[in-house]
């Protein structure tokens, strides 16, 4: 394991009723539950559970909507599809996957968008998130709505965050493999890792939503974090290639709405003296990895108690820096 952790390190350098058996200094970690909607925290270091707390009736096996943290899971599925030969690679263009659309709407610039452009949110298409999200999800064809968006950037240029962009990747996986994205995930990712996905929205044509509204448990989020830390290996099985994991967490672009860097649908930012790679979903759903500390973290939050403010982000990262990292360093 150590050589795998070192590989990522060098890449970076280029409560049920709030009961706990934690040591006294770890009790400060309960402070995370003062952040509005947070309902679970799991911290695992070196393959061993360091801290585990849940709020109220929440448990580690209870599925929750992980919102846009789903995008990071989708990134893993794209890597597996390439590993298994269903896709040629990240430089493959999207034109052959949407022949019906491009026959009706020829557009050389859009046809030249690559899988890598989709993974890094640099398709150039105007966003289907934010002010356009409602119109996108009530449209009768999410694929056509996304591809109909005007080009506001050159492909491969500035990041334009868009759930429609990531949804195209789910459609591509289905069309390339002949399996639904859910069936593909169960065969190659969820099944081997004993992950049981709960609800998962589908579009009007039946394609599973690429990048939002997937339900997983905090236990399963932590499994994914550890698998990432071990460069794609889980329980002795290589789930996705180490090359894909390392490529996924490189910095390709910078967020257009947050001071975060972006890889293949994985975020990056500094937390104190360390760098974190993380999946992030609206309201406070996280898989966080601190490679230099050999630590993976899962956080889930109750969306019904979220008031729509993103102030929780600042408070969570303050908690990570001021409370969690000191405990990890001493463990």
pLDDT in tens, 207-265: 999 999 999 999 999 999 999 999 999 999 999 999 999 999 999 999 877 889 999 99
Strands (E) in the chain, as ranges, are: 38-45, 48-54, 63-65, 215-217, 233-234, 237-238, 253-254, 261-262, 267-271, 274-281, 285-290, 295-301
**How far is Cα 287 from Cα 16, in angstroms, rounded to an integer?**
20
> Of 11-25, 71-85, 168-182, 300-314, which gets the smallest average pLDDT?
11-25
Mean pLDDT lowest for which of 77-86, 184-193, 237-246, 310-319?
A: 310-319
Structural domains in the chain, CATH included, are 2-330 (3.40.710.10)
Q: What is the pLDDT of residues 137-165, one digit of tens each?
A: 999 999 999 999 999 999 999 999 999 99
- What's the pLDDT at 309? 58
Q: Is the pLDDT of residue 267 over 60?
A: yes
Asked whether the predicted pLDDT for residue 331 surpasses 60, the reply is yes
DSSP characters for 147-203?
A: HHSPB-S-TTSS----HHHHHHHHHHHHHHHSS-HHHHHIIIIITTTT-----B-B-
Supply the pLDDT for residue 308.
Answer: 56
| Whether residue 310 has pLDDT greater than 50 | yes
Residue 186 CA to residue 71 CA, distance in Å, equals 16
Mean pLDDT of 67-88: 98
Task: Tell me the HSE value of 39 on the side-chain side, using a 13 A CA sphere.
Answer: 23
Is the Cα dihedral 14, 83, 201, 63 positive or negative? negative
For the chain, what percent of residues have pLDDT higher than 90? 84
Confidence of residue 4 (pLDDT cuts 50, 70, 90): low
């Amino acid at each position: 394991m150590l050589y795998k952790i070192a590989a990522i390190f060098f890449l970076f350098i280029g409560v049920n009723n709030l009961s706990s058996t934690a040591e006294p200094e770890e009790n400060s970690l309960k402070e995370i539950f003062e952040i509005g909607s947070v309902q679970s925290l799991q911290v695992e270091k070196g393959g061993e559970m360091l801290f585990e707390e849940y709020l109220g009736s929440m448990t580690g096996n209870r599925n929750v909507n992980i919102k846009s943290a789903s995008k990071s899971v989708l990134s893993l599925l794209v890597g597996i599809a390439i590993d298994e030969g269903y896709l040629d690679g990240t430089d493959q263009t999207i034109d052959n996957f949407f022949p019906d659309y491009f026959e009706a709407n020829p557009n050389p610039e859009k046809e030249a968008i690559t899988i890598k452009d989709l993974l890094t949110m640099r398709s150039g298409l105007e966003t289907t998130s934010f002010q356009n999200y409602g119109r996108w999800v009530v449209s009768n064809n999410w694929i056509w709505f996304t591809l109909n968006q005007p080009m506001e950037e050159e492909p491969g240029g500035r990041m334009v965050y868009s759930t429609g962009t990531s949804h195209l990747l789910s459609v591509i996986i289905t069309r390339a493999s002949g399996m639904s994205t859910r069936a593909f995930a169960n065969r190659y990712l969820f099944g081997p890792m004993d992950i049981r996905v709960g609800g998962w929205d589908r579009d009007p044509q039946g394609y599973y939503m690429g990048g939002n509204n997937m339900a997983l448990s905090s236990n399963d989020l932590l499994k994914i974090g550890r698998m990432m830390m071990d460069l794609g290996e889980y329980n002795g099985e290589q789930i996705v290639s180490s090359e894909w994991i390392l490529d996924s967490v490189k910095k390709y672009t910078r967020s257009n709405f947050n001071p975060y860097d972006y890889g293949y649908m994985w975020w990056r930012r500094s937390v104190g003296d360390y760098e974190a790679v993380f999946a992030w979903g609206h309201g406070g759903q996280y898989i966080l990895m601190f490679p230099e500390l050999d630590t993976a973290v899962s956080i889930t939050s109750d969306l019904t108690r979220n008031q729509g403010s993103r102030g929780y982000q600042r408070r969570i990262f303050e908690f990570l820096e001021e409370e969690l990292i000191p405990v990890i360093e001493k463990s």
